[in-house]
Amino acid sequence: MILRSLVDGNRLDTLVDNVNFDLTCDLLCVGAGCSGVYLSDSAKRLGADVILIENEKTVGGMHTVGGVRGYYYGYENGAFMEDDQFVSENSQLAVDSANQWLKQVAMIKRLESAGVKTLFEHSPTGVWLEDDRIVGLQVFDGNKLINVRAKITVDATSDGHIIIMAGAKTRMGRPADNKTVPFSVISNYLWNDIRCGVNQDAGEVNQYDVKDFSKKLLLAHKDTKDTFKKGDFLYLATITGVREGVSFEGEHTMKYTDLLVGNTPENVLFWAYSDLDRHGNDRAIDDELFQNWWVISNLATVAMSIPVPIKSLIPKGLKGLVSAGRCLSCDSYLQSAVRMIRDMFRMGECLGIACALAINQGVDIDKIDYEKYLSLVKDTGAFGGENKDFAFNSPSKKVPYVPIDLNPRNNLHLLDTTTPGACIWTCFLNKEDKVLVEILADKMNATKSLLEKYNCAIALGIMEQKIALPVLREIVNNRDCFYFTDCRRSNQFRSAVAICLLGRLGEIQDATLLESIVFNDTEFEREMYHTLENNYLYYKLPDRNFVYFDVFTHALAGLVKLYKKLNLNLSELNEKIKKVIKDGKVVDRIAYIKEPHQPTFVEITDFLTLMLKQTEE
């Protein structure tokens, strides 16, 4: 057998002749967090012999000791509802929603009643392989190293620690710059007898680099000082809220592009439900399709059902190992969506059933009798997928549920409103429809409503129609100060949207226009950069000039695109960007706090560095 570990950054394979396994089981689950607990429980109840190991002292991961008590999306069905019921029945014991400990008790009782052997403060240190199959783990139990043998090993660590150790091919971050979304530190305070939480975006971190992780953790904990002013400070969550870790090359890789156009894969394990909850604000360097969704169509808070196939949980070429939780084989944009607490509970429950079936049938998990699986899982309610609409929806139900009609002709009236997003998006989905283009062009030219005229131009722009250019230029020249209002947060600034489109469709004169925004110091003197209030409808970060950030970044990213498309002199642009970086004025204007780890400071400086790099190619 081979013991595979990661030592000093290198993969180390050690051949061992006679391995003494201290423990043996059918299913070894690493991580007693949101998915691990319910996975272990459901597998055990279906007859699998389960060992659950956990690094921390207790259960629940981000949902308990991680401080994420509230639910954000996710389907409301599955075994976890019983534990929520337990918490609710005991609510008289706790102040307001300060009931994290009750949930821990519920989860502990669940594992005990199922008979899951749970080992706390156990840390995996290596993976055992036999003929390319993972057959167990080496684990540190606090005193010594022990070996645990298993038919199936589940990585429910949420950060793919076992998957990385096992040697799967991994990637991290979005395509443009490999950056992940910011991590958070969660603190709780008491205000007027109400438990309140602060979820503070603390910048980017590489949690696999122990020095970076440790340094950023200290900085993030120190920066919670402002919470003290809000009320009686209670605690900092003991686990850091890292939202995005590695993804791996799986037997199937989920793509957000498939999701947005409605492609459903085979053999779905379960359906998640969420919006594309992407933190961070530098949308100007996102993928074009994502920009179409989030920026140009302003659909940040539209929720959707997301099919998660079994094969996206299996690292390619590695048998005996499965992932549970938010570490999937998918792109960075889907990682923003398939991570909601309720969905993690349900994924665990469904995967536990699939694992038990695999063990029972003596096959790998991707070879299980899928119809049998469906019959087992549908009884639990955890499978999901009952609602396939894309819809404006709110986890708190305070905002009306509004499904999107996918026929653009039924949405045309929205163009004369402040909420044209559904129309713009459905026009994009039908961009080859020449009749639709004509209808929009006629509307744009004939309408007396400026709102409608400008929104028509955006719709034509997303359909790549140059006929929109004169009106898009007008929006930008006028520095139109309109914000869309489709969403309950993250609404987009129409000037920035138009700038983004000019970057794609524009001509030489548009390069000149964008240069005047980026390189002309008088641009910043415009009133709009100094009067719009920081507002949750647009942005949450009070430490930046968000209008200028938005306009500037879209303008510069657009300029780089135009230069490349029109074969203009890239090295000239490169020199101009160097000057902007050197004189520091743009960073000064945008980032109110210029400490090296502050999210805004990092976002704008990294953006400028990326633009410089893109003009060196």
Partner 1 sequence: MKVYDTLLIGCSYASVGYALNSKNTLIVEQTQSADTRFYLPLRSYNLDAYTPTTEYGKSLLDTFNSFKLIDGEKINANALESAFCDFLCRSDLEITFKSRVIDVAQENDLYIAKIITNGGIITVKTKKIIDTTVSAPLSTTLTVMVKGELTKDEEIKITNAFGGATIQNTFYKDVYAVFLQNPNCLDYNAMLNDFYNKWKTVGAKVKTLYVAPTFSKIAKKEKGFPKDEYFGNPIEAFEEGYYYAQKGEN
Note the residues at the interface with partner 1 (CB under 8 A). 5-9, 55, 57-59, 65, 90, 92-95, 98-102, 104-105, 108-109, 120-121, 123, 125, 140, 145, 159, 161, 164-165, 188, 190, 193, 195, 207-211, 213-214, 217-219, 221-222, 224-225, 228, 232-236, 238-240
Q: One-letter amino acid identity for 252?
A: H
Reading the block at residue 289, the tokens are 């399709």
In angstroms, what is the minimal distance from the CB of 593 to partner 1?
A: 15
In angstroms, what is the minimal distance from the CB of 56 to partner 1?
A: 8
In angstroms, what is the minimal distance from the CB of 72 to partner 1?
A: 22
In angstroms, what is the minimal distance from the CB of 184 to partner 1?
A: 13
DSSP H stretches of helix in 362-408: 370-378
Nearer to partner 1, 71 or 120 (CB): 120
In angstroms, what is the minimal distance from the CB of 490 to partner 1?
A: 29
Nearer to partner 1, 125 or 534 (CB): 125
Instruction: Supply the angle between the helices 546-565 and 494-505 in degrees, to the nearest 10.
Output: 10
In angstroms, what is the minimal distance from the CB of 142 to partner 1?
A: 8
The distance between the two most distant Cα atoms of the chain, rounded to a whole number of Å, is 83
DSSP helix/strand/coil, 302: strand
DSSP helix/strand/coil, 212: helix
Nearer to partner 1, 94 or 581 (CB): 94
CA atoms of 152 and 111, how far apart (whole Å): 19
CA distances from 197 to 190, 200, 340, 343 (A): 9, 9, 17, 21
Whose CA is closest to 219, among 181, 183, 245?
183
Q: One-letter amino acid identity for 362?
A: G
In angstroms, what is the minimal distance from the CB of 85 to partner 1?
A: 15
Nearer to partner 1, 218 or 508 (CB): 218
Nearer to partner 1, 207 or 545 (CB): 207
**What does the buried/exposed string (b/e) look like for 572-597 if buried means 16 or more CB atoms within 10 Å of the residue's CB?**
ebbebbeebeeeeebbebbbeeeeeb
Nearer to partner 1, 87 or 437 (CB): 87
CA atoms of 32 and 34, how far apart (whole Å): 7
**φ, ψ (nearest 5 deg) of residue 127:** -115, 135
Q: Are 160 and 246 in contact (CB under 8 A)?
A: yes
Reading the block at residue 233, the tokens are 């400070």
**What does the buried/exposed string (b/e) look like for 151-165 if buried means 16 or more CB atoms within 10 Å of the residue's CB?**
bbbbbbbbbbbbbbb
In angstroms, what is the minimal distance from the CB of 53 to partner 1?
A: 13
In angstroms, what is the minimal distance from the CB of 171 to partner 1?
A: 16
Q: Are 594 and 603 in contact (CB under 8 A)?
A: no
In angstroms, what is the minimal distance from the CB of 83 to partner 1?
A: 13
Nearer to partner 1, 121 or 521 (CB): 121
- What is the SS3 assignment for 160-176? CHHHHHHCCCEECCCCC
In angstroms, what is the minimal distance from the CB of 331 to partner 1?
A: 23
CA atoms of 149 and 162, how far apart (whole Å): 14
In angstroms, what is the minimal distance from the CB of 562 to partner 1?
A: 41
In this structure, the chain runs to a length of: 617
Q: Backbone dihedral region of 209: left (phi > 0), alpha (psi from -120 to 50 degrees) or beta?
A: beta
In angstroms, what is the minimal distance from the CB of 111 to partner 1?
A: 9
DSSP letters for 41-79? HHHHHTT--EEEE-SSSSS-GGGTTT---S--SS-S-ST
Nearer to partner 1, 111 or 560 (CB): 111
Q: Please, is 321 exposed, middle or buried when counting C-beta atoms within 10 Å of its C-beta (0-12, 13-18, 19+)?
A: buried
Nearer to partner 1, 197 or 381 (CB): 197
Nearer to partner 1, 207 or 380 (CB): 207
Nearer to partner 1, 97 or 257 (CB): 97
Nearer to partner 1, 205 or 472 (CB): 205
**φ, ψ (nearest 5 deg) of residue 13:** -105, 125
CA atoms of 575 and 518, how far apart (whole Å): 13
Whose CA is closest to 70, among 87, 54, 57?
87
Nearer to partner 1, 98 or 581 (CB): 98
Instruction: Supply the angle between the helices 570-583 and 546-565 in degrees, to the nearest 10.
Output: 160
Q: Are 220 and 187 in contact (CB under 8 A)?
A: no
Nearer to partner 1, 216 or 342 (CB): 216
In angstroms, what is the minimal distance from the CB of 94 to partner 1?
A: 5
In angstroms, what is the minimal distance from the CB of 43 to partner 1?
A: 20
CA atoms of 153 and 127, how far apart (whole Å): 10
Strands 23-30 and 10-15: unpaired
Nearer to partner 1, 318 or 440 (CB): 318
Q: Are 40 and 32 in contact (CB under 8 A)?
A: yes
